[in-house]
Structure 1
Amino acid sequence: MMPAAKKPFLQQFYSQTVSTASELRKPICWVVAAKALDYEQMLLLMAAVKWDIREIMSQHNVYVDVLLKEFEEFNKRLGDVSRHVRVPLPVSNVLWEHCIRLANRTLVEGYGNVKKCSTDGRPLMQLDFQQFLMKLEKLTDMRPIPD
């Protein structure tokens, strides 16, 4: 329907727009991932943990379960959206990658904010992180887990 003289402009616009769309995927998905999980709640829960313990614990802390529940909800919401609008695999992967990276950074920040930690508290942090990774791998097909 376009005049022949205008078709080159349309083709140029189309080719530039399509190539740019994939470049915009990461920053746009970053904003979605930042809102997808409650990272602040995780920091508050981590701050409430007593890291100055006298003996090594065999059970991980509650914040790990809360975080994994958030990821389960994220997975469910992503599935719900996919039923209405096709979410391409690269978009889904970028969303998962960003959420995992933000969660890992939040964990590092939470561990870094600890004021008092015993020598038995550090292995508890490692236990918590290992539990998080092990259960997260069951929720996502991403391999390896980012960061």
Structure 2
Amino acid sequence: MHKKPSTGWFSMPAYTSDDQFPMYVDRIANAKWEVKELGLEHNGYVDLLLGEFKHYKTRLAHGGIHKEVQDRLLEYGLEIVAETLIEGLSRVKRCSNEGRALMSLDLQVLINGLQHFVPVNVKPKLQMVETFIKAYYLPETEYVHWARAHPEYRKNQIVGLINLVATMKGWKRKARLEVIEKIE
């Protein structure tokens, strides 16, 4: 059954990655983000995503598809990985500062791993994930402006980000609701 595209923020059609990869979205959202100190280890979902992408590349390579088409499909795959990461990160409920640093570590490990599978530079394709992670560090007064400046994120993703930041930084309920109301 073909799902209709969901309507992204500003009525932009977008296929949601949680339609395609709910397991990965859940694993990202439910990873342990309330760590006390940052270690050297990334989260397990990174290895799962890399394994899935490697399998995807292998299927394309053995599918009798022209190399140019394979390369384009791999780029689309990178976009799906980026969207999956953002969707998962937008659903995180609790996170420490070290957990936010772990998000960046996970992203860097993923970028380095994916680079082995595609002919293009991976980092620009996953830039929107890095931008989303960095938004955790914004001051409370900047979220409305940031949301308007970044239509590439769906409203529910931005609301998830704001809810997490509000919880982490101890915003008053009224302040959180006002910010969310202004972006709607």
TM-score bracket for the superposition, by shorter chain length? 0.5 to 0.7
Residue deviations 1:76-124 (CA, integer Å, cap 9, x gap)? 1111112xxxx22332122111110011011011111111110100010
> Equivalent residue for 2:105?
127
Contact kept in structure 2, 1:60 and 1:127, CA below 8 Å: yes
Identify if the C-alpha distance between structure 1 residues 130 and 144 changes in structure 2 by more than 3 Å, giving closer, same or farther. Answer: closer
Cα distance in 2, alignment partners of residues 92 and 112 from structure 1 = 30
TM-score by length of 1: 0.67
Whichever residue aligns with residue 53 of structure 1, its letter is V
Higher helix content, 1 or 2:
1
How many residue pairs align between the two structures?
A: 108
**Structure 2 gap ranges (5+):** 1-14, 127-184
Displacement of 1:57 after TM fit? 2.1
Cα distance in 1, alignment partners of residues 51 and 59 from structure 2 = 12
Contact kept in structure 1, 2:61 and 2:70, CA below 8 Å: no
Cα distance in 1, alignment partners of residues 34 and 95 from structure 2 = 4
Bigger CA radius of gyration: 1
TM-score by length of 2: 0.54
Work out which of the residue numbers 24, 43, 48 in structure 1 matches 2:25.
Answer: 43
Q: Secondary structure at the match of 1:98?
A: helix
Q: Secondary structure at the match of 1:103?
A: helix
Contact kept in structure 2, 1:52 and 1:118, CA below 8 Å: yes
> Equivalent residue for 2:73?
95
> Equivalent residue for 1:56?
38
Contact kept in structure 1, 2:30 and 2:92, CA below 8 Å: no
Runs of 4+ in 1 over 6 A off after TM superposition: none
Identify if the C-alpha distance between structure 1 residues 124 and 144 changes in structure 2 by more than 3 Å, giving closer, same or farther. Answer: closer
Contact kept in structure 1, 2:25 and 2:84, CA below 8 Å: yes
Q: Relative contact order (alpha carbons < 8 A, sep ≥ 6): 1 or 2 greater?
A: 1
**Structure 1 gap ranges (5+):** 1-30
| Alignment RMSD (CA, Å) | 1.8
Contact kept in structure 2, 1:39 and 1:103, CA below 8 Å: no
Note the 1:1-147 alignment, pairs <5 A. Answer: 39-82=21-64, 87-145=65-123, 146-147=125-126
Cα distance in 2, alignment partners of residues 71 and 43 from structure 1 = 15
